[in-house]
Amino acid sequence: MSLALVIGLLLGEAKVHQTPPYLPRYATFQLFIRPPAISPGLRLGWEIDLIEGQRDVLVAVLEGGLAYTRVNDAIPFFWQYSGGAGIGYRNQREGGLYWGFTLVLGAIYYGYKLEARADVLAEGRAFLGWKLGPTTLAFTAGYAQWVAYNPYSVAQRYATGPYLGVQLGWK
């Protein structure tokens, strides 16, 4: 009986969204905090509904992003580019409250003039906000982390880290 319910949910009628599937469904503006550097960053995300309930949905997520900052005089231009795939949960309450989370695994390329590195990236983000007509606006907090530690890398000290931000969605 439960297998039939899962198959019914997966094969059920798909919800029609206002945004075509080839365009991003949200943008997250965030500040990575790795003292002494604070890196402003942008993430664009695409979503595909996997399992949809009455007020919530489990989604497949594809994300890409970038961030730039000045660390100090020795590192005047630090950059990071990332991309990954994962899952997310979105919940819309009757009163307009909107919350959820996103978990992504992917790749990150980062560095500065003297060093460039590529690593595996793991990222988790939670958000809480409000539905405003066809869009959502939410405050986010999360952590992005490279997976393999290199004690000799200067660039790795400033890549990723904890972040705060704002997410705008237009699914």
Summarize pLDDT for 25-50 with one digit per residue, the tens: 999 999 999 999 999 999 999 999 99
Average pLDDT on 85-110 reads 96
Q: Residue 8 pLDDT more than 70? A: no
Q: What percentage of the chain exceeds 90 in pLDDT?
A: 82
Q: Is the peptide bond before 162 cis (omega within 30 degrees of 0)?
A: no
Q: What percentage of the chain exceeds 70 in pLDDT?
A: 90
Average pLDDT on 98-108 reads 97
6-20, 99-113, 124-138, range with the lowest pLDDT: 6-20
What is the predicted pLDDT for the residue at 20? 83
- Report which of 158, 103, 146, 104 is spatially closest to residue 121, judged by C-alpha positions: 146
- What count of other Cβ atoms lies within 10 Å of the Cβ of residue 154? 16
Please report which confidence band the pLDDT of residue 58 belongs to, taking 50, 70 and 90 as the band edges. Answer: very high
Q: Residue 87 pLDDT more than 60? A: yes
Q: Taking the CA of residue 153 as centre, how many other CA atoms within 13 Å lie in the half-sphere pointing to its CB?
A: 17
Q: Residue 5 pLDDT more than 50? A: no
Token pair, residue 76, equals 């005047």
Query: To which H or E segment does residue 56 belong?
Result: strand 56-69
Q: Residue 90 pLDDT more than 80? A: yes
Please report which confidence band the pLDDT of residue 2 belongs to, taking 50, 70 and 90 as the band edges. Answer: low
What is the overall mean pLDDT for the chain?
90
Token pair, residue 126, equals 């939670």
Domains and CATH numbers, the chain: 23-169 (2.40.160.20)
Q: Report whether 124 contacts 100 (CB < 8 A).
A: no
5-19, 79-93, 143-157, range with the lowest pLDDT: 5-19
